[in-house]
Amino acid sequence: MTGRFPLTSKRDPAVKRVALVGNCIPRRCGIATFTYDLCRALTNAGRAEIFIAPVNDVPEGYDYPDPVWFEISEKKLDSYRQAADFLNLHDVDVVCLQHEFGIFGGPAGRHVLALLRGLSMPVVATLHTVLADPTNDQREVMKGLVDVVDRFVMLSERGGELLREVYDVPSQQVEVIPHGIPSMAFVDPSFYKDKFGVAGRHVLLTFGLIGPGKGIEQAIEAMPRIVERHPEALYLIVGATHPHLLRDQGEVYRIGLQRLARQLGVEKNVIFHNRFVSDAELDEFIGAAEIYLTPYLSKAQICSGTLARAVGAGKAVVSTPYWHAEELLADERGVLVPFDDPGAISDAVNDLLDNEVQRDAMRKRAFLSGRAMTWSAVALEYLDLFERCRLAPRKRTPVVAREHRGETLPVINLAHLRRMTDGTGMLQHSTHAVPNYDEGYSTDDNARALILVLMLDDVMNSATDELVGLASRYMSFLQYAFNPECGRFRNFLAYDHRHWLEDVGSEDSHGRSLWALGTLIDRCSKQTTREWAIRHFDAALPVVEGFTSPRAWAFSMIGIAEYLKRLPGHRTAQRTLRDLADRLMSLYRASSDTDWQWFEEYVTYCNAKLPHALLVAASCLDDEDMREVALSTLTWLCRVQTSDIGHFLPIGCDGFYPRGGERAVYDQQPIEAHATISATMAAHRATGAAMWLDEARRAFDWFLGGNDLGRPVCDPTTGGCHDGVHRGAVNANQGAESTLAFLMSRIEIRVADYETLRSGPAAGEVEIVIQPGSATEARSKDVPSASR
């Protein structure tokens, strides 16, 4: 379930969007209140946009407030995976998890690991419980959290010690940030007592969700001795029964407490407010109290939000010595009494009621210590931590939607392709997702667009008029681009008056045109269309022998290989393929050595196309030496393009990678990911080795967030793809080259996942949005056959 969310790209490397995962009001539990309060505090700090992804423990969910954008179904594992996809694809910089074993599905809340392992951004986890003696399931979940969480936030120092001692978490992975509290004035309790009709009485208070373990029966058992000495004493127990206890046992526990008060003769001195009170009401109850009682029964309590709130409000506190109380009430900020000792509780309360000076001094010490715990102060600590995590090296390799088995890969959405295509052809550039007419058209992009339509034809089963029309438009553009006087394709066409900006285009654009025509010749079943393509291919082939660009050679070689599948006896095509392949081999022999297994002195752009073309030629020409060089150079390139933590890291176009020099990291272009996917898929077809599928998936993960920024580059809402990864930001524009690179990659990676996983839709059933609208429309298994 989703709410309102703008998709944005930002150039500022600071944290701009944070997702809180946990529970949220109106669900009644401490973590729900904490999450919502933290969301408000972070939002009020004004440094980032904050939203919540809560976990629903009931099928109908809750009537959540606006900050909730996505809801997770507690028991459904797929819901956690879908949440990971949502967060990856919506520009989230940091995820802040609120963790408690009982709020997530699976044994010991194990389902949450599926969400965390699927995230591409840093994760900060606030642990509301750390167990000194966990069960086997709980220990396994904690181990899983340690593997994927970048920083743990503990709400107390003792929690941090347990995390290090019991779970071997490195100190640098642990931060201590106190439980937030509202900022309250230091007031005399008499100010609020009139509101509740308790003027002149000593008010003791316990608040929060009621249930066993809170030790309220111990405080009630202490009341007879307190009332004997201070008959005006009144014990207020404010809060509803915990919803899960109420669901499973009803009001048995509360009724037992009321019976105990009657049996002890203090029923008039013990008042229950059996409801979930608002923050404003709670502030008034706290304000009216002289003493706060927190008689928990177990030492293993690393944090109590109610205790933090009482201390921050400047209340005198009597508490059993659970971990958080020992820490928060040190230095005479409260009184600690033994567990299971009602007599000690009554002695401590009587002593404080007898000594107003001592009580007020304790209140002041507590109030002053609480200034560092106000939500405004806590929010700034969290935001500073988020920014440190955002800028720090990732502690894990991003794991993205691809792991959810093929069916959860982004749907192929052609909306942006349609948006960028007019009656002439496909426009080159866009401003964000708006076509930019000023930049006109290029033959490069229209050739790639034709290849895309033909790839769709390969994996689908029936034609659509729209895609047939798109293919015809791109073919017409290539026909118009060809200059028969010189046998060359022109590349750049202006939008105004549709005039060419050159008589001869780049060698690369010519090579890509041959690639598109060759693909059309091989895959088209319509005779007249195939004859058209052969005529243009034959006219454009001769000039290739004079080309000097290795990448133009490579594009041409792939097109020639496609051509030879249909017309294997064509001598000129065979000779040209052999000549171009030999040129690449000569470059390799002249440039390569053990440490530099490459064709040139620079690794520049569209790099994987060189080994890809050589591998294709080796298959056509049955040349084992070519095959070995193609595979060894592709292996070397994949190694160069893998980051230290294992994600795809293409060569940046701002300087490239000179031999013996420093490689450029930015800007990273989508065309590099697509070239790598195509080449590694070709290597898999040639060798059958699974390693090539792994490399293809690594490159595809770059589109989904498996990159240096941990941000998705594809945009499922538009069907487009951002124009690259900059230092600290994703390029906001979604041009033709990038969008085509993603769409072609998406088709090829679906084949990769099908070949190994055999799950989800079979080959020929790629999900695709072919009608106008968003990426959430009904999916069609009818695939256009634009050339038939």
Q: What is the 3-state secondary structure (H, E, C) of 589-606?
A: HHHCCCCCCCCCCEECCC
Instruction: Reply yes or no: is the peptide bond before residue 579 cis, omega within 30 of 0.
Output: no
Q: How far apart are CA 115 and CA 106, in angstroms?
A: 13
| Closest C-alpha to 682, from 738, 739, 638 | 638
**Residue 593, token pair as written in the block:** 């050595």
**Residue 703, token pair as written in the block:** 């589109």
**43: pLDDT strictly greater than 70:** yes
Q: How far apart are CA 300 and CA 321, in angstroms?
A: 10
- Would you state the pLDDT for residue 524? 87
b (16+ CB within 10 A) / e for 167-204: bebeeeebbebbbbbbebeeeebeebbeebebeebbbb
- Would you state the pLDDT for residue 302? 86
Helix (H, G, I), strand (E, B) or coil at 400: coil
Residue 25: band (very low, low, confident or very high) from pLDDT cuts 50, 70, 90: very high
Mean pLDDT, residues 525-541: 94
Q: How far apart are CA 212 and CA 772, in angstroms?
A: 57
Beta strands 492-493 and 441-442 are antiparallel
Per DSSP, the residues of 103-148 read GSSSGGGTTHHHHHHT--S-EEEEES---SS--HHHHHHHHHHHHH
Mean pLDDT, residues 406-433: 88
**688: pLDDT strictly greater than 50:** yes
On the CB side of 206, CA atoms within 13 Å amount to: 24
Mean pLDDT, residues 264-274: 93
Residue 1: band (very low, low, confident or very high) from pLDDT cuts 50, 70, 90: very low
**Residue 776, token pair as written in the block:** 């959430």
Beta strands 725-726 and 729-730 are antiparallel
Cβ atoms within 10 Å, residue 423 = 6
- Would you state the pLDDT for residue 460? 64
Specify which residues 668 forms β-bridges with: 725
Angle between helices 624-640 and 609-621 (to 10 degrees): 160
**692: pLDDT strictly greater than 70:** yes
Tell me phi and psi for residue 732, to 5 degrees: -75, -25
Q: How far apart are CA 428 and CA 433, in angstroms?
A: 12
Please state, for a pLDDT cut of 90, what percent of the chain lies above it. Answer: 72
Q: How far apart are CA 433 and CA 731, in angstroms?
A: 11
Specify which residues 205 forms β-bridges with: 236, 292
**352: pLDDT strictly greater than 60:** yes
Q: How far apart are CA 421 and CA 23, in angstroms?
A: 45
**Residue 8, token pair as written in the block:** 């944005």
**289: pLDDT strictly greater than 80:** yes
Mean pLDDT, residues 246-255: 87
**159: pLDDT strictly greater than 50:** yes
CA angle 36, 27, 326 (to 5 degrees): 65
Q: What mean pLDDT is reported for the chain?
A: 88
Residue 511: band (very low, low, confident or very high) from pLDDT cuts 50, 70, 90: very high
**426: pLDDT strictly greater than 90:** yes
Helix, strand, coil shares of the chain, percent, nearest 5, are 50, 15, 40
Token match 């942006």: residue? 416
**399: pLDDT strictly greater than 70:** no
Is the distance from CB of 611 to CB of 558 less than 8 angstroms? no
Listed in order, strand segments (DSSP E) in 7-99 are: 17-22, 49-56, 72-73, 94-99
Is the distance from CB of 261 to CB of 267 less than 8 angstroms? yes
Q: How far apart are CA 196 and CA 84, in angstroms?
A: 47
- Would you state the pLDDT for residue 191? 86
Token match 């109380």: residue? 325
**459: pLDDT strictly greater than 80:** no
- Would you state the pLDDT for residue 513? 98
Radius of gyration of the CA atoms of the chain, in A: 34
Distance of CA 319 to the CA centre of its chain: 42
CA end-to-end distance (rounded Å), the chain: 41
DSSP class of residue 156? S
> For the ranges 182-191, 224-233, 358-367, which has the lowest average pLDDT?
182-191
> Model confidence over 724-774: pLDDT tens digits?
998 777 899 999 999 999 999 999 987 555 444 333 333 334 455 544 433
- Would you state the pLDDT for residue 678? 97
Cβ atoms within 10 Å, residue 615 = 25
- Would you state the pLDDT for residue 395? 52
Q: How far apart are CA 604 and CA 607, in angstroms?
A: 6
Residue 658: band (very low, low, confident or very high) from pLDDT cuts 50, 70, 90: very high
Please state, for a pLDDT cut of 70, what percent of the chain lies above it. Answer: 91
Residue 408: band (very low, low, confident or very high) from pLDDT cuts 50, 70, 90: low
Q: How far apart are CA 663 and CA 686, in angstroms?
A: 30
- pTM recorded for the entire structure: 0.57
**300: pLDDT strictly greater than 90:** no
- Would you state the pLDDT for residue 758? 35
Specify which residues 267 forms β-bridges with: none
**422: pLDDT strictly greater than 60:** yes
